[in-house]
Amino acid sequence: MGELAAEKHVEYILSVEKKKDSFESVVMEHLRMNGAYWGLTTLDLLGKLHAVDVDQIVSWIIKCQHDSGGFGGNIGHDPHVLYTLSAVQVLALFDKLDVLDIEKVSTYVAGLQNEDGSFSGDMWGEIDTRFSYIAICCLSLLHRLDKINVENAVSYIVSCKNLDGGFGCMPGGESHAGQIFCCVGALAITGALHHIDKDLLGWWLCERQVKSGGLNGRPEKLPDVCYSWWVLSSLIMIDRVHWINKEKLVKYILDCQDLDNGGISDRPDDAVDVYHTYFGVAGLSLLEYTGLKAIDPAYALPVDVVNRIFIGRQSKKES
Q: Are strands 272-273 and 264-265 parallel, antiparallel or unpaired?
A: antiparallel
x-or-dash pattern for other proteins, window 207-226, by CB under 8 A? x-x-x-x----xxxx-----
* H-helix or E-strand spanning residue 85: helix 81-93
Beta strands in the chain (DSSP E): 264-265, 272-273
Would you say 15 or 245 has its CB closer to other proteins?
Answer: 245
Angle 284-239-314 from CA coordinates, rounded to 5°: 70
Would you say 172 or 191 has its CB closer to other proteins?
Answer: 172
* Residue 187 contacts residue 195 (beta carbons within 8 Å): yes
Q: Rounded to whole angstroms, how far apart are CA atoms 1 and 22?
A: 35
Query: Quick one: which of 54, 62, 147, 173 contacts other proteins (CB under 8 A)?
Result: 173
Does position 291 interact with other proteins (CB under 8 A)? The reply is no
CB atoms within 10 A of CB 314: 10
Would you say 213 or 302 has its CB closer to other proteins?
Answer: 213
Identify which of 87, 81, 110 has the alpha carbon closest to the alpha carbon of residue 99: 87
Does position 63 interact with other proteins (CB under 8 A)? The reply is yes
Would you say 245 or 261 has its CB closer to other proteins?
Answer: 245
Would you say 127 or 303 has its CB closer to other proteins?
Answer: 127
Q: Rounded to whole angstroms, how far apart are CA atoms 275 and 292?
A: 18
Does position 111 interact with other proteins (CB under 8 A)? The reply is no
Task: Report phi then psi at 65, rounded to 5.
Answer: -80, 140
CA distances to 140, 192, 297 from 189, in Å = 8, 8, 10
Question: Binding residues for other proteins, how many (CB under 8 A)?
Answer: 50
Q: What's the closest the beta carbon of residue 311 comes to other proteins, in angstroms?
A: 32
x-or-dash pattern for other proteins, window 12-31, by CB under 8 A? --------xx-x--xxxxxx
Query: Quick one: which of 52, 57, 169, 196 contacts other proteins (CB under 8 A)?
Result: 169
CA distances to 68, 70, 115 from 96, in Å = 20, 17, 33
Span near other proteins by CB under 8 A; candidates 142-150, 202-210, 276-284, 305-313: 202-210
Does position 164 interact with other proteins (CB under 8 A)? The reply is yes
Would you say 120 or 257 has its CB closer to other proteins?
Answer: 120
List of residues contacting other proteins (CB under 8 A): 20-21, 23, 26-32, 63, 72-78, 80, 124-126, 128, 162-164, 168-170, 172-176, 202-203, 206-207, 209, 211, 213, 218-221, 242-245, 248
